[in-house]
Amino acid sequence: MKLKFILPLVLFFVLVAFLGKGLFLDPREVPSPLIGKPAPAFEAPVLGDPSKTFSPADMKGKVWLLNTWASWCVACREEHPLLIEMLAHDIPLYGLGYKDVEKDALDLLDKMGNPYIITANDADGTIGIDYGVYGVPETYIIDKAGIIRYKQIGPITPESLRDKILPLLKALNA
């Protein structure tokens, strides 16, 4: 059998392999180019106490999580109970209030509980742009040297917590 006549069939199967793999990918997900890079610097007022500021530089030497959220975000509310549980297990959660009205944000924390050690207020979203935020909630894990090591796109789920976040935190803290 001549080679050139089998070529179309071979090429077709290569294509099918890619299409098959593609069925299990999400074309809408935007991975972060910041992984492995330093967390972008900022200095933002603290939610509820504008005289104080928060900056990633404050966290040098510690492993921590930055969770972007807003009171108008439905998925954030779904994620919220899990965050409260995470705080109860001493996971260092810091919040970034994204494009939110301060009063609404504080009301939500009041009603649903505050899972964050501190929340920084990014009222106009400029910090979010630096972090490549495109749809809250998004959570970043930042290591002791201030490098972003992981980005959770969308709400944290029990599975992602168990399979990705907790193991990574353990490794970074070691």
Partner 1 sequence: MMPTIGYYALVLALVVALLQGVLPLVGLPKNNGKLFAFATPMARIQSLLVILSFIILDYAFYANDFTVYYVATTSNSNLPLIFRLAAIWGGHEGSMLFWVAILAVWTLAVTFFAKELPLRFRSSLLAVMGLISVGFIMFILFTSNPFERIFPAPFDGRDLNPLLQDPGMVFHPPLLYMGYVGFSVAFAFAIAALLDGRLDVTWARWTRPWTTAAWVFLTLGIALGSRWAYYELGWGGWWFWDAVENASFMPWLIGTALIHSLAVTEKRNAFKAWTVLLSICAFSLSLLGTFLVRSGVLTSVHAFATDPSRGLFILLFLVIVIGGALTLFALRAPSVGLGEKFDLVSRESLLLSNNVVLFAATGAVLLGTLYPLLIDAMNMGKISVGPPYFDTVFVAIMVPGIFLMGVGPIANWKKASVPDMAGKLKWALGVSVISALLVPSMMGRLSPMIFVGLLMAFWVMSSVLTSMKIRLDAMPSATLKQKLNTFGRAYNGMLLAHFGLAIFIVGVTMVKGYEREHDITMQSGETKVINGYDFKFEGILPIKGPNYVAKQGQFYVSKEGKQVALLTPEKRLYPVQGAIMTEASISINPVRDIYISLGEELEEGGWSIRVYFKPFVQWIWLGCVFMGLGGILTITDKRYRIKNSA
Partner 2 sequence: MIMMRNIVIGLVLFISAFSFTATSFAQDRVSESPAVEARLKKLSIELRCLVCQNSTLADSDAPLAQDLRNEIRKLIETGNSDEEVVAYLVARYGDFVTFRPPVNTSTALLWFGPFLMLIIGLITLVVVLKKRAKLLGAEETLP
Q: In what order do the strands lie in the sheet with 119-122?
A: 49-54, 44-46, 119-122, 93-98, 64-69, 138-142, 148-153
Task: Give whichever of 35 and 171 is closer to partner 2, judged by the CB atom.
Answer: 35
119 binds, among partner 2, partner 1, none (CB under 5 to 8 A by kind): none
State which of positions 71-110 bind partner 2 (CB under 8 A): 99
**Between residue 10 and residue 49, which ones bind partner 1 under the rule CB under 8 A?**
12-13, 15-16, 18-25, 27-31
Residue of 79, 67, 66, 76 whose CA lies nearest to 104: 76
Q: Which does 18 bind (CB under 5 to 8 A by kind): partner 1, partner 2, none?
A: partner 1
- Please state, in angstroms and rounded to a whole number, the distance separating the CA atoms of residues 118 and 110: 14
- Picked from partner 2, partner 1, none, the partner binding residue 2 (CB below 5 to 8 A depending on kind) is partner 1
Q: Least distance in Å: CB of 61 to partner 2? A: 26
The interface partner of residue 99, options being partner 1, partner 2, none and the CB cut-off 5 to 8 Å by kind, is partner 2
Rg of the Cα atoms in the chain: 20
147 contributes a contact to partner 2 by CB under 8 A = no
Residue 62 Cβ vs partner 2, minimum distance, rounded to whole Å:
24
Alpha-carbon torsion angle 131, 135, 113, 117, nearest 10: -10
- Per-residue HEC secondary structure of 89-136 comes to CCCCEEEEEECCCHHHHHHHHHHHCCCCCCEEEECCCHHHHHHCCCCC
Per-residue x/- marks for partner 2, 13-32, CB under 8 A? ---------------x-xxx
Q: How far is CA 159 from the centre of its chain?
A: 15
Binding interface with partner 1 (CB under 8 A) = 1-2, 5-6, 8-9, 12-13, 15-16, 18-25, 27-31
